[in-house]
Amino acid sequence: MAPVAVSPQASPVFKKRDGQALEELSDAIDEVNVLKDMKKREAEKKEAEEKGLYEESEFDKEKDKANFRQYEDANDRVKNFYQEQHTKQTVAYNLKARHDFHSKTRAEMTVWEAMEKLNTLIDESDPDTSLSQIEHLLQSAEAIRRDGKPRWMQLTGLIHDLGKLLFFFDAEGQWDVVGDTFPVGCAFDEKIVYGRDSFRDNEDFGHKIYDTKFGIYTPGCGLDNVMLSWGHDEYLYHLAKEQSTLPDEALAMIRYHSFYPWHSAGAYHELMNDHDRDMLRAVKAFNPYDLYSKSDGIPSVEELKPYYLELINEYFPTKVLKCTIYIFHNNAYGVSKYLLYW
């Protein structure tokens, strides 16, 4: 189209309109800039947080790490626990445990109430603490906070063992709630606490499929498709996944923090996929806070409560933890759906 000359008389009218349009345009540009700025700051915050997440822990620098996880020197309480756990955690039991959750009804409670309920539970599998679980949770969270790690990681420390509530509802003992975890359905690895020999009375020991390197799994199938011995980690993972806004790294910390043969001893790595390899970094970053904070002072539950209540509210929008979770599982061992509650 040919250019059109604008007559000088027409200019006041257009000036007004153009002025308004210009103002609107400038407002829109401002808005875009504000949004851009916000995005940039969010990205910077995330980057700083990430850096913090993978930075080496500081709080444990002076501690003698050799004093922890000394299973050979442990007392009979610990040895008997693993004897029982390693005998009873079978493929059949694990399928049953997951199915059993289908028809049970349990309580509804806030995260803090759940923590308080753990004040009587002493973990029989643990050679490093005889404190109650609420104290262990606060020790972990406080160590993470002291090292200036992200808020979501502090909350992860605070709740990571909450799944031990299972003990008060459906457990057959502590052996199906606490202790290190390991896969069932493939060979028990020598790197599990007390080694393969400790599984000699397990009905899957020497099984023609379950006791082979990959058993019912395939190389690189991903840990999501691997059935870890049933206990508090898996239970809380599903709950937190459904009801919190915690990031994937936090969910992995919860789900795999007791899987020492994998995250600390290097076993079962052939089962991992790329996502698991990323998550392994996060679980390793979390581990010192869980383990080495056990020799810290005893925290004051009442003093710390206000800080952590706020943190809980930030990531659990429903405030009350709902009882029911449906989990869909379609994999080699054919569990199609099971249900978890508190």
State both tokens at 73: 């020197």
Which entry of Fe ion, ligand INS, none binds 174, CB below 5 to 8 A by partner kind? none
Query: Which residues are within 8 A (CB) of 81 and not within 5 positions of it... i.e. 6 or more apart?
Result: 124, 125, 174, 175, 178, 179
| Distance of alpha carbon 165 from alpha carbon 177, whole angstroms | 8
Contact flag: residue 296 with ligand INS (CB under 6 A)? no
In the complex, minimum distance from the CB of residue 296 to Fe ion, in angstroms, rounded to a whole number: 16
Contacts to Fe ion from residues 156-195, by CB under 5 A: 161
231 vs 299, which CB is nearer to Fe ion? 231
Strand partners, 166: none
Which amino acid, one-letter code, is at 4? V
221 vs 240, which CB is nearer to ligand INS? 240
In the complex, minimum distance from the CB of residue 125 to ligand INS, in angstroms, rounded to a whole number: 4
123-162 mask for Fe ion (x: CB under 5 A)?
Answer: --------------------------------------x-
123 vs 204, which CB is nearer to Fe ion? 123
Residue ranges of the binding site for substrate: 69, 123-125, 164, 179-180, 257-258
Contacts to Fe ion from residues 255-294, by CB under 5 A: 258
74, 90, 121, 126: which one binds ligand INS (CB under 6 A): 126
Residue 44 vs residues 41, 51, 155: alpha-carbon distances, Å: 5, 10, 21
- Distance, first Cα to last Cα, the chain: 72
Residue 25 neighbours by CB distance under 10 Å: 11
- Assess contact for 308 and 158: CB atoms under 8 A: yes
Contact flag: residue 234 with ligand INS (CB under 6 A)? no
Contact flag: residue 161 with ligand INS (CB under 6 A)? yes
Query: Which residues are within 8 A (CB) of 69 and not within 5 positions of it... i.e. 6 or more apart?
Result: 127, 128, 260, 291
Contact flag: residue 288 with ligand INS (CB under 6 A)? no
216 vs 233, which CB is nearer to ligand INS? 233
Contact flag: residue 258 with ligand INS (CB under 6 A)? yes
What ranges in 89-132 are assigned the alpha helix state H? 91-100, 111-117
Contact footprint for ligand INS (CB under 6 A):
123, 125-126, 161, 178-180, 257-258, 260
